[in-house]
Amino acid sequence: MMIARALASALLSATLIAGAAVSAEAKDWKSVTVVTEGAYEPWNLTNSDGTVGGFEPELLKDLCGRMKIECKVVTSDFDSAIPSLVAGKYDVIMDALSITDDRKKVIAFTDPYAATPAVFVADKTGPLAKAPGTDTTIKLDTDARTPTMDDLRKAFKGKTIGIQSATVYSTFVTNNFKDVATIREYKTSPEHDLDLAAGRIDLAFDDATYFTAAFAKAENKDLGYTGPQIGGLVWGPGEAFGIRQGDADLVAMFNKAIAEAKQDGTIQKLSMKWFKLNVVP
């Protein structure tokens, strides 16, 4: 174990240096580097010519015009986005990033530019197609059990539910259904659709904006919403830009621009264009 210990101390000192190297300094923001995944259609996507498109890049273009700064968009993997932001590789994360308490410990957020509901999906022809509350919309503020949730718990007893790992939705589903149903966590959303189609799971729970686009695919023609669309503060304030904690001035600049874009209907226009749904918070 000598080897292991030597490696441990070497790696630790590397992390410590990493922590110390980032210095927060007031900057005169003329240009910012914005990182996005470029693989989360319709929020952000890559076109076949390599350019980036989607709801967020179009919104960003508008906001940067208002702030009169230059915005450089780069794409990277989602898994390394937050550590890279903290390390100083980028200035802004734009990747359908929900505001959560866990994340707030590490990075700062702007005001949200979207707040999306989430919903269960099941086989349209199966026994779970019309769970209690289908075609209604409810607003929840906490994970606390409500009568609707109790109905759903009864309906989903003994079933297997698929969710995307490490999201606000996975916490919610785990808290509400862990004792009555089996929960499987997937790395990405499309994977639970594939397993739903294969019959390995009975239900999937995810963002409504994600499913709207998923349903457009021929292979998902048998899938449909079941149970109510769930919105509200249970998902936190919504999706926002992630910015380093030291850069309060940049947060303020973005907040001002987001407020203006909300006011004059720009966000709603883009939301209807990309999601066919109004997600303005």
Partner 1 sequence: MTWLTLFGFGEKGWGGLLVIGLLVTVAVTGCALLIGAVFGALAAWAKLSPKIWARVAGDLYTTVFRGVPELLIIFLFYFGGSSALSSLGHLFGREGFIGVPTFLAGALAVGVISGAYQAEVFRAAFRAVNRGEIEAARAVGMPLLLRFRRIIVPQVLRFAIPGLGNVWQLSLKDSALVSVTGLAELMRTAQMGAGSTREYFGFYIAAAALYLVLTALSNRVVDLAEARVGRSFRRRLA
Partner 2 sequence: MTGMLDLPFLLDVMGRLLAVLPMTLALFILSISLGAVLALTLTWMRVSGIGILDRVARAYVFVFRGSPLLVQMFLIYYGLGQFPAVRHSVAWPVLREPFACAVISLGLCTAAYSAEIFRGALLAVGDREVEAARACGMSGFLLFRRIIFPIALRAALPAYSTEMILMVKSTSLASILTVSEMTGVAQKLIAQTYRTMEIFLCAALIYLAINFVVARLVGLLEYRLSRHSRRAPVLAQVLHE
The residue among 180 and 194 lying less far from partner 1, judged by its C-beta, is 194
| 265 contact choice in partner 2, partner 1, none (CB below 5 to 8 Å, kind-dependent) | none
Distance of closest approach, residue 16 Cβ to partner 2, in angstroms: 6
Distance of closest approach, residue 216 Cβ to partner 1, in angstroms: 8
Interface ranges with partner 1 (CB under 8 A) = 3, 6-7, 11, 14-15, 17-18, 20-23, 25, 35, 37-41, 45-50, 74-77, 79-80, 83-84, 87-89, 188, 190, 194, 213-214, 217
Residue 217: how many other CB atoms lie within 10 Å: 11
Distance of closest approach, residue 17 Cβ to partner 2, in angstroms: 10
Distance of closest approach, residue 183 Cβ to partner 2, in angstroms: 10
Question: Hey, what are 155's tokens?
Answer: 């309906």
Q: What's the CA gap between 141 and 155, in Å, rounded?
A: 22
The string over 231-254, giving b where at least 16 C-beta atoms fall within 10 Å of a residue's C-beta and e elsewhere, is: beebbbebbbbbbbeebeebbebb
Find all residues with CB under 8 Å of 226, minimum gap 6, and list them.
120, 121, 122, 128, 129, 130, 131, 134, 203
| 25 contact choice in partner 2, partner 1, none (CB below 5 to 8 Å, kind-dependent) | partner 1
Interface ranges with partner 2 (CB under 8 A) = 1, 3-4, 7-8, 11-12, 14-16, 18-20, 79-80, 82-83, 86, 102-103, 105-106, 162, 165-166, 184-187, 191, 194-195, 197-200, 219
| 212 contact choice in partner 2, partner 1, none (CB below 5 to 8 Å, kind-dependent) | none
The residue among 221 and 273 lying less far from partner 2, judged by its C-beta, is 221
Burial of 156 (0-12, 13-18, 19+ CB in 10 A): buried
Edge-first strand order for the sheet with 31-36 is 70-75, 31-36, 92-93, 242-243, 108-109
